[in-house]
A and B are shown apart, each in its own frame.
Chain A
Amino acid sequence: MLKTFRTTALAAIGGAMLFVTGAGADPLSDRINAGDPIRLGFATAIPWAYPGDGGEPLGFVNALTLVVLEEMGITNYEASVNEWAGLIPGLQANRYDIITGGMYILKSRCANINFSDPIGLFGDAFLVPAGNPKNIHTYQDIITTGAKLVTGAGFNTVEAAKKEGVPDSQMMLVAGEVEILAAMKAGRADAAVQTFFGAMEHVDKTDGQFEVTDPKDLPVWTQNWVGIGMRKADTEFLAAFNTAMAKVIGGEAWMAATAPYGYTKYQLPAADASTEFACTR
């Protein structure tokens, strides 16, 4: 606690100095320069980001973040595992320094945090029982069949489903990926909507009990770029991160680190993909 107090005090003094002189590095760069580890915040969302048995950061978003950090000369890091819905408040509460959960770059999120340049383009898909008994491919199918749809609290899919007209009474919000699969396995819901990757992971895990619908059946506007989330204040770190990422993205280290999690060159963002554009959607 004493240490927390001291860092808080230091940060406060640092902030005050920044205010007075109008110069100097941002809080995160200061933290790293002081030799403290950078803290990665994520939820359990296999294969995006999840903790290993020793709490180490796994998943392709963590893996490629570490590649970028290494390029920046940063090898000192810590992992912090949270509930998905708590990721942004946790970042704002300074509980960790960047969000590596694999967050879509969305307008509402951009209003609250900064995002790095996109690390890939990803879509959502439905997870349904094998054979797709209710023949669900789109949000409209959910409405017409009256099916129960499960997804995670704070997921982009909540907004998407609502915009497509799915009534609250047909939606079931759970804490995260794990609870989504639990709801599906137990038959509490007829379909789950989540990222295509997350859905594929759930299919692999349950050998043949479920299948994934074609992600292209979902509205184009629900396709999203993913970025690393950062605090609004950490602008210098953001710039340095983007510069380093531009050097390694799609490179050998990048692809090798993410391949075990199913990330391929098809997920790489187009060269002209920009966070500014993604933030307007």
Chain B
Amino acid sequence: MQWRWDFTFEILPRMLWATGNTLLAALIGYAIALVVGLIFLLLQQTRFRPVNIITREIVEFIRSTPLLVQLFFVYFVAPQFGLTLSAWTSAMITIGLHFGTYMSEVYRGGLNAVPKGQWEACRALNMGPVRTYFRVILPQALPVALPGMGNYLIGIFKDTPMLATIGVAELMHTANALGAETYRYLEPYTMVGFIFLMISLPTAAGLRKLEAAVARAQGKIKR
């Protein structure tokens, strides 16, 4: 089968429009995951043990099961309990929950990297919890958590093609539809791969730069 450039340019506008949707899905999903991760983290850090244990089990369960199955579960099962969620909403909830579990681990890794003595010093200096967190703990935890947080942004982006299976009109969904309309699959699928590469490579490079910059700002450049 021959690559057809005229066809490539013909479908390019639709593909680019769908790329916008893909990016939107990734960013919204990421924003939700950031918040959900924080909630999971707090629930796991509470002093009330049953909440700790239950949260940890839920996190473990979500982390060890496939995102694709979870997508179908939310999409098909939620309506049976009277929850009518659009494909978009189902997708965003599932991505947020799934990657929220990863995010809580990343946060925890960052917090654990802050030496115990820092907390004690804050208490000795009579700092309130807000100041302790924002002035002392987070500035030290963030550089540790940043690489993980960045990786999951790219991770979510690369998992968005799965959303096509429940009908979210992102890039893969558009490629499927174009294939079904024109019976040409070579160009749409190859273009999806190419677009993904064109976005994820610079993003990864940018994140590495950001990490380096943060590390430098922390005076940690010499390790």
Q: Could you give, for residues 146-190 of chain A, a 1 whenever the CB lies within 8 Å of some chain B CB and a 0 otherwise?
A: 000000011000110000000000001111000100110111100
What residues of chain B lie closer than 8 Å to A89, measured between beta carbons? Answer: 179, 183, 185
Selected from B84, B173, B179, B182, the residue in CB contact (under 8 A) with A186 is B84
Smallest CB–CB gap between A82 and chain B, Å? 12
Judged by DSSP, the binding face of B is helix
What residues of chain B lie closer than 8 Å to A85, measured between beta carbons? Answer: 176-177, 179-180
Q: Is the beta-carbon distance between B176 and A182 smaller than 8 angstroms?
A: no
What residues of chain B lie closer than 8 Å to A188, measured between beta carbons? Answer: 84, 86-87
Q: Is the beta-carbon distance between A186 and B167 smaller than 8 angstroms?
A: no
Residues 103-152 of A contacting B (Cβ, < 8 Å): 108-109, 111-112
What residues of chain A lie closer than 8 Å to B185, measured between beta carbons? Answer: 89
Smallest CB–CB gap between A245 and chain B, Å? 25
Question: In the complex, which of the residues B76, B78, B183 has the most CB atoms of chain A within 10 Å of its own CB atom?
Answer: B183
Selected from B84, B85, B166, the residue in CB contact (under 8 A) with A179 is B166
Q: Is the beta-carbon distance between B177 and A153 smaller than 8 angstroms?
A: yes
Smallest CB–CB gap between A228 and chain B, Å? 17
Return the chain A residue nearest B189 by Cβ: A89
- The reply to whether the CB of B79 lies closer than 8 angstroms to some CB of chain A is yes
- The reply to whether the CB of B107 lies closer than 8 angstroms to some CB of chain A is no
Q: Is the beta-carbon distance between A173 and B167 smaller than 8 angstroms?
A: yes
CB contacts between A and B, total, < 8 Å: 53
- The reply to whether the CB of A200 lies closer than 8 angstroms to some CB of chain B is no
Selected from A88, A179, A185, the residue in CB contact (under 8 A) with B183 is A88
Q: Could you give, for residues 236-274 of chain A, a 1 whenever the CB lies within 8 Å of some chain B CB and a 0 otherwise?
A: 000000000000000000000000000000000000000
What residues of chain A lie closer than 8 Å to B173, measured between beta carbons? Answer: 153, 173
Q: Could you give, for residues 175-219 of chain B, a 1 whenever the CB lies within 8 Å of some chain A CB and a 0 otherwise?
A: 011011111010000000000000000000000000000000000
The docked-state distance in angstroms from the alpha carbon of A82 to that of B111 is 47
What residues of chain A lie closer than 8 Å to B167, measured between beta carbons? Answer: 172-175, 179, 183
The docked-state distance in angstroms from the alpha carbon of A108 to that of B84 is 36
The docked-state distance in angstroms from the alpha carbon of A107 to that of B75 is 35
Return the chain B residue nearest A182 by Cβ: B76
Return the chain B residue nearest A108 by Cβ: B183
- The reply to whether the CB of B169 lies closer than 8 angstroms to some CB of chain A is yes
The docked-state distance in angstroms from the alpha carbon of A158 to that of B181 is 9
Smallest CB–CB gap between B72 and chain A, Å? 10
Return the chain B residue nearest A187 by Cβ: B84
Q: Is the beta-carbon distance between B180 and A153 smaller than 8 angstroms?
A: yes
Selected from B87, B165, B183, the residue in CB contact (under 8 A) with A112 is B183
Question: In the complex, which of the residues A109, A174, A188 has the most CB atoms of chain B within 10 Å of its own CB atom?
Answer: A188
What residues of chain B lie closer than 8 Å to A108, measured between beta carbons? Answer: 181-183
The docked-state distance in angstroms from the alpha carbon of A158 to that of B179 is 13
Question: In the complex, which of the residues B84, B86, B167, B176 has the most CB atoms of chain A within 10 Å of its own CB atom?
Answer: B167
What residues of chain A lie closer than 8 Å to B183, measured between beta carbons? Answer: 88-89, 108-109, 111-112
Q: Is the beta-carbon distance between B79 and A185 smaller than 8 angstroms?
A: yes
What residues of chain B lie closer than 8 Å to A159, measured between beta carbons? Answer: 181
What residues of chain A lie closer than 8 Å to B176, measured between beta carbons? Answer: 85, 153-154
Given contacts A183-B167, A186-B79, contact A173 B177 (CB under 8 A): yes
The docked-state distance in angstroms from the alpha carbon of A142 to that of B107 is 49
What residues of chain A lie closer than 8 Å to B85, measured between beta carbons? Answer: 186
The docked-state distance in angstroms from the alpha carbon of A3 to that of B111 is 55
Return the chain B residue nearest A171 by Cβ: B169
Cβ contacts A to B, 9 pairs, < 8 Å: A112-B183, A158-B177, A159-B181, A174-B167, A179-B167, A182-B75, A182-B76, A185-B79, A186-B84
A-B residue pairs, 10 tightest by C-beta: A154-B180, A186-B79, A85-B180, A174-B167, A112-B183, A187-B84, A186-B84, A89-B185, A153-B177, A153-B180
Binding site for A on B (CB under 8 A): 75-76, 78-79, 84-87, 165-167, 169, 173, 176-177, 179-183, 185
